Each structure stands twice: as structure tokens, then as C-alpha cells.
């Protein structure tokens, strides 16, 4: 009524110009860090940080320092990516069969002239259309060999729907940091895909592969 709104708007503008991050270490995207958040990120006392790093303090006030850290997510978070272990995949296409939307396409070829029981197929095509995926996780539940896992990424925005199709080469090159959703073997060891290292293929399964001697001791009926 008396022009206080203009003064308030001017104050907000000045505050955002001086402190772009608004004292929030998790501003998306490329979160800009204010002096307090920067000191917390570097695990230093705020007052000592001002005395020891005045240049960083000035840069942070100008909004020139940002971080790539993301908002903390639960290890069971299901994101818009998948983790695929080709060493464990046999090409059985169980994931594609159980997908309610039919967004998984798998094409295989014989690895030999005649594929016998227990042998693998060559995976020629493994496409997942995340543009239509509802991330129900039925494909992960259906996999009998624990080769397919939900991921925890979520920055998959693109200008073309064609770019939302994850192909076999993308699956091969993706970092192997699976979500612990429907993977009790990872959850039991306290694995966190946001903090821990990649999990190799021989440590990601629910079942331990037995050698022939152990298989014989367990399954062959002795006379």
C-alpha cells in the first residue's frame, strides 16, 4: 500500500544477486555454493574458512562456485537408467516377456552352430525405451540371473524421443552402480550407488556359482 512491495522485491533481487544459492547447498542444476555451504562441503570451520580462503569466499558470494552433488537419494531409489551385466546375461529375454508395456527389445543370435542347454546367446540388440517406461521393476524381478538392475540416475531429459532409447552399447558402457531395489544381497552389505564404487559382475548376484565338484556333492544322487 505504501510501496513496501517494491522495496521487498528489490531486496529479493539484491539477495539473489549476492547470494545466488540462497544458503542452499542443493540447488538444481549446478548448485551454487554460498560461503556457509562451501565451508561445510570442505569440512572446515566457517570462520577459519573465511580467514584461510578469502578468494573462495568472494567467488562464492558472486555465484562463481558450484557443485555437481545431487540431492541425497535412498540407495533403493529407482531412476531412469538400468545397469546391465553382460557377463551374467544368457539372452533368455525373460525381462522383455514380463514387461507390461513391451518397451524392451532383445535380439539374439546363436553363439555356436547349435546352442545347447545352458549355453549363452550373443546379444545383438538390447533396447529399453525409457520414454515409455513406468519403472515398475518387473523386468528386474523376472531376471533369473541378476543381470539387469535398476539404476539411480534421473537426468535423462532430451529434445528427441529417439534419444530416450537405451541401446546395448549404452548399457555396456554405463557405470555399474546398481540400485539396491529388489537386490537384498546389495542392501545387506550396505551398498550405496551414490557413494560406493562399481560392483563387479561376480559380486552382484543372489546366488553363488558352484564348481562341478560342489554341484556333484549337492545334486548328484550317490548310489
Cα distances from 15 to residues 4, 19, 24, 49, 167, in angstroms, run 16, 6, 13, 22, 45
Instruction: Write out pLDDT tens, residues 116-167.
Output: 445 678 899 999 999 999 999 999 999 998 999 999 887 777 888 889 999 9
Instruction: Write out pLDDT tens, residues 179-212.
Output: 999 998 899 889 999 888 999 988 888 766 656 6
- Provide the pLDDT for residue 220: 59
- Provide the pLDDT for residue 12: 76
Contact 19, 61 (CB under 8 A): yes
Tell me the whole-structure pTM to 2 decimals. Answer: 0.64
Look at 192 and 23; give whichever has higher pLDDT.
192
| Mean pLDDT of the region 7-14 | 80
- Domain annotation for the chain: domains and CATH numbers: 4-67 (no CATH), 82-203 (3.30.70.3270)
Long-range contacts of 205-209 (CB under 8 A, 24+ apart): 205/88, 205/145, 205/146, 206/146, 207/146
> All 3 cell numbers of residue 91?
539372452
C-alpha span between 120 and 108 (Å, rounded): 10
Alpha-helix runs per DSSP H in 99-222: 138-142, 168-173, 184-188, 212-219
Instruction: Write out pLDDT tens, residues 156-170.
Output: 778 888 899 999 999
Model confidence at 22: pLDDT above 60: no
C-alpha span between 155 and 171 (Å, rounded): 16
Contact 32, 47 (CB under 8 A): no
- CB count within 10 Å of CB 164 equals 17
Instruction: Write out pLDDT tens, residues 27-81.
Output: 456 777 888 888 888 888 888 888 998 998 898 888 788 877 666 788 999 888 8
- Provide the pLDDT for residue 27: 46
Please, what's the largest Cα pairwise distance for the chain? 100
Q: Residue 146: left (phi > 0), alpha (psi -120 to 50), or beta?
A: left
Cα distances from 18 to residues 1, 23, 59, in angstroms, run 28, 11, 10
| Mean pLDDT of the region 74-91 | 90
- Provide the pLDDT for residue 130: 92
- Provide the pLDDT for residue 211: 63
- Provide the pLDDT for residue 25: 45
Cβ partners under 8 Å of residue 130, min gap 6: 80, 81, 103, 156, 164, 165, 166
- Provide the pLDDT for residue 210: 59
Amino acid at each position: 500500500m505504501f510501496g513496501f512491495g517494491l522495496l521487498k522485491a528489490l531486496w529479493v533481487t539484491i539477495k539473489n544477486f549476492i547470494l545466488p544459492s540462497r544458503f542452499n547447498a542443493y540447488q538444481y542444476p549446478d548448485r551454487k555454493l554460498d560461503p556457509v555451504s562451501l565451508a561445510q562441503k570442505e569440512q572446515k570451520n566457517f570462520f577459519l574458512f573465511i580467514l584461510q580462503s578469502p578468494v573462495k569466499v568472494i567467488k562464492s558470494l558472486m555465484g562463481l562456485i558450484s557443485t555437481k552433488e545431487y540431492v541425497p537419494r535412498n540407495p533403493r531409489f529407482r531412476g531412469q537408467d538400468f545397469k546391465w551385466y553382460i557377463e551374467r546375461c544368457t539372452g533368455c529375454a525373460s525381462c522383455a516377456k514380463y514387461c507390461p508395456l513391451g518397451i524392451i527389445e532383445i535380439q539374439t543370435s546363436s553363439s555356436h552352430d547349435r546352442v545347447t542347454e545352458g549355453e549363452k546367446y550373443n546379444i545383438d540388440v538390447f533396447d529399453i525405451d525409457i520414454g515409455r517406461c513406468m519403472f515398475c521393476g518387473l523386468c528386474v524381478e523376472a531376471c533369473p540371473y541378476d543381470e539387469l538392475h535398476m539404476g539411480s540416475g534421473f537426468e535423462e531429459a532430451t529434445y528427441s524421443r529417439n534419444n530416450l532409447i537405451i541401446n546395448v552399447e549404452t548399457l555396456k558402457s554405463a557405470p555399474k552402480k546398481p540400485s539396491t531395489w529388489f537386490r537384498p544381497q546389495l542392501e545387506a552389505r550396505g551398498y550405496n550407488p551414490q557413494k560406493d564404487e562399481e560392483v563387479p559382475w561376480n559380486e552382484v548376484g543372489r546366488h553363488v556359482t558352484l564348481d562341478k565338484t560342489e554341484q556333484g556333492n549337492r545334486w548328484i544322487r550317490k548310489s
